[in-house]
Amino acid sequence: MASPKNTLKQRNDFFSKTLVFLLFLSAFSTSGTAFSQDNVTNVFLPAPRILKQQLGRAKRAIDEENYSDAVTFLGQILTHSGEIGPIEAVEDPNNGAPVPQEESEAESQDFFIEPDEEDGTFRSIKVEANRLLGQLPDDALKLYDLQYGADARALLRTSLENNDLAGLTQVTRKYFHTASGYEAAMLLGRSEMARGRPLTAALGFRRLYQTPAARKRFDPELSLLLAVCWDHARLQVEAREVLMDLKAKYPDTQFTIGNQPISIFRADENPIEWLRNVASRSGIADTSGFTQWVMFRGTPTRNAASKGGIPLQASRWRIRTAVDSIDEQRIRELMSSSREQSNPELPSLHPLIVNDIVLTRTPERLIAVNFKTGKRVWEFPWFNTSDEEELLQSQLEVTEGASHQRQNELKQRLWQDNPYGQLASDEKSVYVLWEMGFADFGANNTRRLMMAPGGAQVNIPGGPRSTNYLSGLDLETEGSLKWIVGGASGED
């Protein structure tokens, strides 16, 4: 039988071992918890030290109302290139204009900063920079636009020229609080609408809607677009809130939709029903499935409408219409001159689309191009006319006078000669004017005839003419000549 003394000793050993084991478990559990917390803390890649410093400096500058420094620091965060130190704009050595650079991986990457003690939520450093910019007064935002607006405009222009939606996104990410940033965001929202993504479009429009400067620029159109997107996304409460706010801000506003003025809803009218009625009116009737445009301006009434596309039109193909590279250069010079003089560049050539064939005039011919492939199918005339022979001869005699005359001819054909540029079709044939000549280039240039060998009087090649021809070409047989009328006799 064990003595009481031994029994007490065994109990003490047991409790000691148990206590040590429990302490070990507690330590292990605490260590595991700490390890788990460390893992959670370090899930996100830490922001570079330079960005944290810039954000801190920006906040201090805002507190001190030193907005010039604040917008500089915040702009550097949004355009961060992954390098330590200030970010400098790259300039074109020829004209000093900022050149948009291809976005690097470091430049596009965002980082998260430690959460505040109040909410414990991780925040994106670039979102925080944009938030701080959005809270600045108007004068500070003008300083920001003055400093970064040129870069934003260059990037926006390049994106539009290249039909680059990703480039537009880059504009909104780097330069949202500039005029170009607001414009890019508006285009992206419309693009999402056209692609059938109303919720995504609404989120983009809401960002503009919540920015006073952007809303001031785009309202009431912005509010109407946002309400339409909320409604299509089945978020009628949000749509109603936007409409009621629009009514309070613009109680007597009018919209022009489908060439019809529409007043905002009355106080006793259901705003959602009004919105849906307005949205239904904005739909444009289909004209022969969009791919048919068989006469000048679409219909005999000359006012047909067609469905539009997304804000940035994509080029399917390109095809040369000039005779040679010399004419191409002359056309570029004419376009450049028009832009410098702020003259509108509205061409007088009006293509048709008939059964997947694009019919259009060039400075010398009518050409037919496959709509899907962009390949030239046929042309008319398929032989050199007297005017073209004169043109080929003048190209060999490159004098200042001949070059100036050719520029005038191109200007007439491409921008001034409406009868030349207009075509008509009944979907079986295409009808085109031919042998039209050119108008006088000067007030005193009234000569129309010249003496030919033998004393005969003939028209000056390329000069004014009192007659022309109307030709009918068969589309099924790739432009074969069906008939031709006109000329001096006016007969077939």
Question: What is the end-to-end Cα distance of the chain in Å, rounded?
Answer: 141
Alpha-carbon span 145 to 176, nearest angstrom:
10
DSSP string, 313-375: PPP------SSSHHHHHHHHHHHHHHHHTT-----S---EEETTEEEEE-SS-EEEEETTT--
Give pLDDT, residue 455.
59
**Is 0.75 surpassed by the pTM of this model?**
no
Q: What are the tokens at 420?
A: 């030349």
Residue 123 β-bridge partners: 113
DSSP string, 448-492: -EEEPTTS-EEEPTTS--S--EEEEEETTTTSEEEEEEETTTT--
Alpha-carbon span 133 to 415, nearest angstrom:
46
Cβ neighbours for 346, distance < 8 A, ≥ 6 positions apart: 415
Give pLDDT, residue 183.
92
Alpha-carbon span 406 to 343, nearest angstrom:
20
How does strand 254-257 pair with strand 112-113?
unpaired
Alpha-carbon span 326 to 452, nearest angstrom:
30
Residues of the chain with CATH 2.40.10.480: 325-486
Q: Do you find a cis peptide bond into 311, omega within 30 degrees of 0?
A: no
Phi-psi bin for 303: left (phi > 0), alpha (psi -120 to 50), beta? Answer: alpha
User: Residue 211, class by beta-carbon neighbours within 10 Å (0-12 exposed, 13-18 middle, 19+ buried)?
Assistant: buried
Cα–Cα nearest to 113, from 171, 61, 50: 50
Q: Do you find a cis peptide bond into 4, omega within 30 degrees of 0?
A: no
- For the segment(s) 49-87+109-281, the CATH number from 1.20.140, 1.10.390, 1.25.40, 1.10.101 is 1.25.40
Dihedral over alpha carbons 236, 238, 244, 247 (to 10 degrees): -100
Alpha-carbon span 310 to 121, nearest angstrom:
37
Alpha-carbon span 179 to 480, nearest angstrom:
54
Give pLDDT, residue 283.
43
Give pLDDT, residue 492.
60
CB 178 within 8 A of CB 144: yes
Give pLDDT, residue 305.
63
Residues of the chain with CATH 1.25.40: 49-87+109-281
Cα–Cα nearest to 243, from 259, 255, 261: 255
Q: Do you find a cis peptide bond into 220, omega within 30 degrees of 0?
A: yes
Give pLDDT, residue 457.
58
CB 231 within 8 A of CB 252: no
Write down the residue that tokens 């805002």 correspond to: 62
Give pLDDT, residue 34.
39
Cβ neighbours for 79, distance < 8 A, ≥ 6 positions apart: 87, 107, 148, 151, 174, 175
Residue type, 191: S
Q: What are the φ/ψ torsions at residue 415 (nearest 5 degrees)?
A: -130, -10
How many C-beta atoms lie closer than 10 Å to residue 410's C-beta? Answer: 18
Alpha-carbon span 345 to 411, nearest angstrom:
11
Residue type, 73: F
Provide the 3-class DSSP secondary structure of residue 423: coil
Percent of the chain with pLDDT over 70: 67
In this structure, CATH architecture of domain 325-486: Beta Barrel (2.40)
Write down the residue that tokens 């000039």 correspond to: 322
Cβ neighbours for 99, distance < 8 A, ≥ 6 positions apart: 90, 91, 92, 154
Residue spans of the chain under pLDDT 70: 1-45, 81-111, 113-122, 258, 281-291, 301-314, 384-402, 440-463, 490-492
Provide the 3-class DSSP secondary structure of residue 120: coil
